[in-house]
Copies of this chain bind each other. A is one copy, B any other.
Amino acid sequence: MTADLILYELAAEDPELRFSPHCWKTRMALAHKGLEATRIAWRLTDKDIIAFSGQGEVPVLVDRGEVITDSWKIACHIERTYPDRPSLFGGDDAVALAGFVNAWADAVLLPAISRIILVDIHGGLAPADKEYFRTSREKRLGQRLEDVVADREGHLSIFRNALAPLRRILKDAPYVSGEAPAYADYCVFGMFMWARSTSSIELVDAGDRVSEWRERLLDHFGGLARSSPRATRIGEAP
């Protein structure tokens, strides 16, 4: 137990609802290391609260005064700083490859899921964040949020096809990292927690190997992820 760790996590209107995919990577990584952090709810428009970190995004980890931003850098930091606890990567040779899995999750899964749940995310945000989220995302995507998710079924189908490499390796082992989960698993799992926290849309069928893998991770660490709050305003119609 370490009382000296502080983690800033993105929160919805319900401050207990923490939904950022990257914050979930960090949450699972800390649990893997057996580290406990004081978790602070942070909203998209609370830029001043994390101004000390020199940037405007979460997760932000403060480890006994040292400030670390970016979920990947946080994972590397806790791996290096707490070498006697269970390893997040296994060996040095696995770090670059875990980075590939993380890049795949961020570059492929994240945009694919956003086209499914964007309006649901918006629906759960605090009032001040709603306006900021709509304006910034619509500017970035060049479309109204509602138009982005208009063809939900089509985007769901694209997302499920994109899971092919994951489905393929889960044929041979229960986790991306092999016999036990590690950071590469959490990078992908964070994307599923993002959707689970904000939307009632079921991303994968129950019979899908990927669903079975997700269920195992929901139960991991004593059900840490499964017992976490979900959106109350789920499934909001576009």
Q: Chain B contacts of A184 at CB under 8 A? A: 97, 100
Q: A93 to B91, Cβ gap below 8 A?
A: yes
Q: Chain B contacts of A94 at CB under 8 A? A: 90-91, 93-94, 97
Besides the known contacts A93-B182, A97-B184, A107-B164, 13 further A-B residue pairs in the complex with CB atoms under 8 A apart: A87-B93, A91-B94, A93-B177, A94-B94, A94-B97, A95-B178, A96-B175, A97-B97, A97-B177, A100-B101, A106-B165, A107-B168, A108-B164
**Chain A residues within CB distance 8 Å of chain B:** 87, 89-101, 103-104, 106-108, 164-166, 168-169, 172-173, 175-178, 182, 184
Q: A169 to B93, Cβ gap below 8 A?
A: no
Give, as a whole number of angstroms, the nearest-CB distance from A155 to chain B: 16
- What is the CA–CA distance of A4 and B188 in the complex, to the nearest angstrom? 43
Q: B172 to A99, Cβ gap below 8 A?
A: yes
Q: Chain A at the B interface: mostly helix, strand, loop or mixed? A: helix
Give, as a whole number of angstroms, the nearest-CB distance from A152 to chain B: 21
- What is the CA–CA distance of A31 and B237 in the complex, to the nearest angstrom? 57
- Pick the contact of A90: B93, B100, B164 (CB < 8 A): B93
Q: A169 to B99, Cβ gap below 8 A?
A: yes
Q: B178 to A108, Cβ gap below 8 A?
A: no
- What is the CA–CA distance of A58 and B90 in the complex, to the nearest angstrom? 33
Q: Chain B contacts of A106 at CB under 8 A? A: 165, 168
Q: Chain B contacts of A100 at CB under 8 A? A: 97, 100-101, 104, 165-166, 169, 176, 184
Q: Chain B contacts of A169 at CB under 8 A? A: 96, 99-100, 103
Give, as a whole number of angstroms, the nearest-CB distance from A160 to chain B: 13
